[in-house]
């Protein structure tokens, strides 16, 4: 790990997808609160998908889709301004499908917020696909809003860390905690099963690996304190046999859980691993997925 103090990342504009569903409305209001905390504008996007629909729908149908989308955006802007009258809110009726529309609207520095399910039936499956698609393919942070909308705040943000390579996105989690005036808790799961299977692996090796993980997580916490000296930072290494299960349990006691997203083992294409996938489907709070390329020095913001 470098001895230089890392650059403190800035939290970007908040972009939220709205689709008319109850969870979409919850996501929009959550995104408004997030934008307000950041002191950034909120951008509402409804993906009408008219470019694709034009291949099989007539002009009257396309016009009805556009009008319904505009009405939804106007209604959502009104609901947001009722709660956050001083927040700058913009809206966009995108001609693209949802994943492409949200990625385009977020640009290189925004944060995308989506709900975790849609209008029911096939629409719910589609929005689930949208959430997964955006989380796996976006080049910017993506927050999937889960949990109870009116749940009391815990005053903490949790980061699911693994090793020293996590420092870049971890500083973004620290910025989230600071914006909320919350504490940051680093949680790392040491799963012994991931180190068993090699005939050369001995109990002494496993003990050494565990100690190394504790050392790395403490070092990460220390680096975060260098950049955010006023932030309360805690760290913990949890031993267990199910990494997703432990993190899902932890999500019940925090306001936001954050984790990094890498690439496929061969370095080709986007990746959303099983832990992130499990959190998006089962966490008790909103889940933020940060692509490692967003915070790498060579993919500098």
* 72 has pLDDT over 80: yes
Across the range 94-104, mean pLDDT stands at 93
* 192 has pLDDT over 70: no
pLDDT-derived band at 123 (thresholds 50, 70, 90) equals: very low
Sequential DSSP letters for 34-92: HHHHHT--EEEEEE--HHHHTTTS-HHHHHHHHHHHHHHHHHHHHHHHHH-TTS-EEEE
pLDDT-derived band at 200 (thresholds 50, 70, 90) equals: very low
The reported pLDDT for the residue numbered 207 is 67
Across the range 34-52, mean pLDDT stands at 94
Q: pTM of the full predicted structure?
A: 0.88
The reported pLDDT for the residue numbered 206 is 58
Of residues 149 and 93, more confidently modeled: 93
CA 116 to chain centre: 12
Place of tokens 């060579």: 298
Angle subtended by helix axes 274-282 and 122-137, to nearest 10: 140
The reported pLDDT for the residue numbered 199 is 43
* 105 has pLDDT over 90: yes
The reported pLDDT for the residue numbered 213 is 81
* 151 has pLDDT over 60: yes
Of residues 61 and 2, more confidently modeled: 61
pLDDT-derived band at 127 (thresholds 50, 70, 90) equals: very low
Please give the Cα distance from 10 to 157 (Å, whole number).
Answer: 17
* 232 has pLDDT over 80: yes
Across the range 30-51, mean pLDDT stands at 95
* 4 has pLDDT over 70: no
Q: Which of 2-6, 57-61, 290-294 has the lowest mean pLDDT?
A: 2-6
Helix (H) or strand (E) holding 114: strand 111-115
pLDDT-derived band at 289 (thresholds 50, 70, 90) equals: very high
Nearest to 231 by CA among 163, 171, 162: 171
Across the range 29-46, mean pLDDT stands at 97
Question: pLDDT above 90 covers what percent of the chain?
Answer: 57
- Provide the greatest CA pair distance for the chain: 72
């Amino acid at each position: 790990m470098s001895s230089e103090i890392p650059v403190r990342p800035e939290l970007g504009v908040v972009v939220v997808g709205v689709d008319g569903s109850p969870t979409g409305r919850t996501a929009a209001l959550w995104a408004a609160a997030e934008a307000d905390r950041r002191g950034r504008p909120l951008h509402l996007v409804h993906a009408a998908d008219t470019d694709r629909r034009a291949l099989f729908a007539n002009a009257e149908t396309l016009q009805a889709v556009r009008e319904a989308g505009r009405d939804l955006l106007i209604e959502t802007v009104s609901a947001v301004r009722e709660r956050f009258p001083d927040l700058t809110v913009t809206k966009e009726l995108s001609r693209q499908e949802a994943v492409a529309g949200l990625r385009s609207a977020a640009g290189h520095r925004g944060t995308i917020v989506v709900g975790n399910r849609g209008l029911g039936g096939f629409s719910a499956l589609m929005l689930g696909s949208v959430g997964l698609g955006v989380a796996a393919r976006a080049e910017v942070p993506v927050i999937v809003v889960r949990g109870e909308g009116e749940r009391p705040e815990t005053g903490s943000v949790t980061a699911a860390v693994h090793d020293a390579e996590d420092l870049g996105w971890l500083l973004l989690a620290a910025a989230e905690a600071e914006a909320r005036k919350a504490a940051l808790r680093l949680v790392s799961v040491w799963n012994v099963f991931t180190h068993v299977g090699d005939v050369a692996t001995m109990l002494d090796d496993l003990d050494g690996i565990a100690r190394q993980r504790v050392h790395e997580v403490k070092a990460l916490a220390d680096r975060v304190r260098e950049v955010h000296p006023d932030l309360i930072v805690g760290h913990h290494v949890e031993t267990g046999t199910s990494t997703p299960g432990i993190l899902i349990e932890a999500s019940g006691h925090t306001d936001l859980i954050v984790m990094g997203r890498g690439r496929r083992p061969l370095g080709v294409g986007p990746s959303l691993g099983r832990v992130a996938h499990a959190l998006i489907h089962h966490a008790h709070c909103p889940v933020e997925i940060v692509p490692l390329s967003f915070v790498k020095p060579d993919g500098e913001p």
